[in-house]
Amino acid sequence: MKIFTYNVNSVNARLPLILEWFEETQPDVCALQELKCLDEKFPYEPFERLGYNAAVHGQKTWNGVALLSKQPLIDVVRGLPGEPEDEQSRYIEAVVDGSVPVRVTSIYLPNGNPIGTDKYPYKHRWYKRLQARAKEILAFEEISVLSGDFNTIPTKSDLYRESAWLDDALYQPETRAAYQSLKNLGYSDACDLMPPEGNRYTFWDYQAGAWQKNEGIRIDHHLLSPQAADRLKSFEIHKDARGRTHDDAKPSDHVPVGVELDV
């Protein structure tokens, strides 16, 4: 089973590029983030034509997450408990129904910048809520994959130049510790288990020629339960997606990141 995560940075604005990638790659499951549309505005029909079932948790203008699967999606969970007033659509979870069920998520963790605003404590409240749910998922003892844009740079190896990120919410010690706490529960970062040769980056900013200068960071991750980690066959980053265009559609600033499990 091939499971990808892909922050598309507006699913409708980049639909031709996204569909082209889906046709080429044929992922079994794909977690999308930053849809930037309401549920009813999600392009269900083009994905259905390609053979995908969709579970969507959208939001007007901002955020939004989805799961696309060739197999039916059951037990769909939209949103994280713990902060009832939080209306941001950043989490969806489901079980891929099959002979061997697999629990998957699409996570769009808050950015947290600027640090001196209420966005930073919100990021860490959200992280605590994710940690609580991640712990519950582990107790199921299932093949589970927490996939998404974590807006977290885990280590110095995951950025082009550390000095440029020391004041950024994505690389604060508290942020990296929150990500590590998920691993401490018993999850494994697929990139750690199978480090790629060459490129580790999954995001290149649109500004200052970051893509052309290869000034990237790794913030899109797959965290595997022990049952999933035991079945990991491969890990891949589709860097070439960052340089593609299609008619008037420009690429997302993120690229697809995938794992293959022996399922």
**Sequence ranges of the binding site for Mg(2+):** 7, 34, 149, 151, 253-254
DSSP, res 240: G
Q: In one letter, which amino acid is 219?
A: I
Alpha-carbon distance of 66 to 7, in angstroms, equals 10
Alpha-carbon distance of 170 to 155, in angstroms, equals 11
DSSP 3-state assignment of 23? helix
Alpha helices in 50-172 (DSSP H): 119-139
124 catalytic? Reply is no
| 37 contacts 11 by C-beta, under 8 angstroms | yes
Selected catalytic residue, list 149, 158, 168, 220: 149
262 catalytic? Reply is no
- H or E segment to which residue 228 belongs: helix 226-229
Alpha helices in 38-194 (DSSP H): 44-49, 119-139, 173-185, 190-193
Alpha-carbon distance of 196 to 255, in angstroms, equals 15
Alpha-carbon distance of 120 to 125, in angstroms, equals 9
Q: Let me know how long the chain is.
A: 263
Q: In one letter, which amino acid is 124?
A: H
Selected catalytic residue, list 6, 91, 108, 201: 108
Q: CB 99: neighbour CB atoms within 10 A?
A: 6
254 catalytic? Reply is yes
Active site members: 108, 149, 254
